[in-house]
Structure 1
C-alpha cells in the first residue's frame, strides 16, 4: 500500500435506513447483518485511524433531490424511492449513522444509483486530490462495494476492500462476493491487518 497522501478511505451507504434499527429502517435483513458482524464499530476504528494518518476520507450515500430526476438508476426496483418519497437528501433516513458522521473537511457524495462513481464527481475529486489507492468499506458488499471496486479498478486505481467493514442482506451474499468477486478487482483484507500496516 502507498502512503497516506495517495490513499483515500471511501465509506459507502452507512446510512440510518440501511444500518440502524428504529423507525427509519428500510432494510431489516441488511441492518441485522451489520449488527451481527459488528460492522459499524469496525468502520469507526478504521475511520479514526484514517483521520489520524491524514488520509482523504470520502462519504458516499444514496440520497435524492425532491424531484427524483437526478436518479440515474431507472430500474423498476428503484421506483419505490420516488413512489414512497424515500431517501430524500434531508430526511432522517438518508443521513449517515452518527458514529461514522462526516467531520469538517470530509466530503459527502450523494448518488442516485448503486455505483458511487456514476452521476457523481467522485472520480474527478479523487484525481484532483492525487489519489491512487482507494480503501473501501460499505453496505451492501455485493452492491455498492462491488460496484465501487469494479469501477475504481477499471479507472486505474489500486483497490483494497476491508472485509469486516462490509455486510450484505445475507451472510452467503457477502461471503460469495468476498471470496469470488472482489478479489478480481482489488486486495481483500481485514481491519486488523489494515490497522497493523497503518
Structure 2
C-alpha cells in the first residue's frame, strides 16, 4: 500500500455537488461516489491532511466563450442550488474552491492554496472522471505535483468514458489506485 506524508499531501474532490452528484453516473452512482469520498475525506482529516472541495457554478457572464460541437456547460449558466455541496459533505476546516471550467486550477487560487501549505502530492477523486477529474489531474501534473487518482472515488456519464480515462489517459500522468490503498506515514 502506498503511503503518503500528511504534511505534504492533499485530497481534492471534484464537483460533489447537488447539480452533478445527484444525476445518473457510471460505473458508480453519484451516491456511491459521495459515500466513498466521505470515507476518504475522513481519513485525510484524521491524518491532518487538507481536504479541498471543488465545485462549479456559471452564470451567463463567466461561462466559456468558445464554440463547441457539443457544449457541456449551459450558456445561460447553472440553475440555483446547482453548486451547493451534497448535504453533510463539507466540514468546517475544508478548503473550498469555486471553478468556472472543467479543471480546478484554471482561473482559481488552488495552486496558491496548495503551495502555501507545502503540498507536493494531490489525491484526486470526484465526478466526472474524464472531465473535471482528468482536467484537474492534467493541470496538477503540468504544475509538477505528484498526482494520485482514487479510481473508486470517481465516476462519469458512462462506464466507457470512466474506463478510458482511468486505464488509458490518467496512468500517463498519475498513479491510479483504489481509495483503500491510500495510507499515511506514521512519522
CA contact (8 A) 2:6 2:185 kept: no
Q: Normalising to structure 1: TM-score of the pair?
A: 0.83
| Aligned 8 A contact 1:19 1:34 in 2 | no
Other-structure match for 1:14: 16
RMSD over equivalenced CA pairs, Å: 2.2
Check conservation: 1:141, 1:167, Cα contact below 8 A. yes
Partner of 1:86: 78
Alignment equivalent of 2:154, drawn from 140, 144, 166: 166
The unaligned stretches of length 5 or more in structure 1 are 21-27
Supply the distance in 1 between the matched residues of 2:101 and 2:4 (Cα, whole angstroms). Answer: 30
Structure 2 residue aligned with 1:39? 33
Unaligned runs of 5+ in 2: none
Aligned-partner Cα distance in 2 for 1:197–1:139: 28
Q: How many residues align?
A: 182
The equivalent of 1:24 in structure 2 is none
Q: CA deviation at 1:127?
A: 1.0
Deviation, structure 1 residue 75: 3.8
| Structure 2 counterpart of 1:71, from 54, 57, 63 | 63
Which has a greater percent of strand? 2
Task: Measure the CA separation in 2 of the matches of 1:187 and 1:152.
Answer: 13
More helix by share: 1
Per the TM alignment, residue 13 of structure 1 is displaced from its structure 2 partner at its CA by 0.4
After TM superposition, the runs of 4+ consecutive aligned structure 1 residues lying more than 6 A away are none
TM-fit CA distance, 1:80: 2.1
Cα distance change, pair 78–168 in 1 and its aligned pair in 2 (3 A) = closer
Q: Matches of 2:27 and 2:87 in 1, distance apart? A: 18
- Aligned in 2, Cα 1:73/1:135: closer, same or farther, shift over 3 Å? farther
Q: Report 1 or 2 for greater relative contact order, CA contacts < 8 Å, sequence distance ≥ 6.
A: 2
